[in-house]
Amino acid sequence: MLQAQAKHGGLATLGYPLSPASAAQQWFERGRLEQRDGRLFLCLVGNEELQARGWLP
């Protein structure tokens, strides 16, 4: 997962790891990386919160 972190902006985008890397997901200061169905997803936690509040589409 750390290779994927570097590929998707590294520390500037996700921050430092908060959880150990697992096969399914890893949490970072500002987001998480998830692996589902052989694909990698970048989830920015701040964006998810703003969407939940209706401040972002």
Q: Summarize pLDDT for 5-29 with one digit per residue, the tens.
A: 788 788 888 888 889 888 788 888 8
The whole-chain average pLDDT of the chain stands at 85
H/E run at residue 34? strand 31-36
H/E run at residue 11? helix 10-14
What pTM was estimated for this model as a whole?
Answer: 0.71
- Rounded Cα gap, residues 2 and 42, in angstroms: 12
Q: What is the DSSP letter of 17?
A: B
pLDDT confidence of residue 7: 81
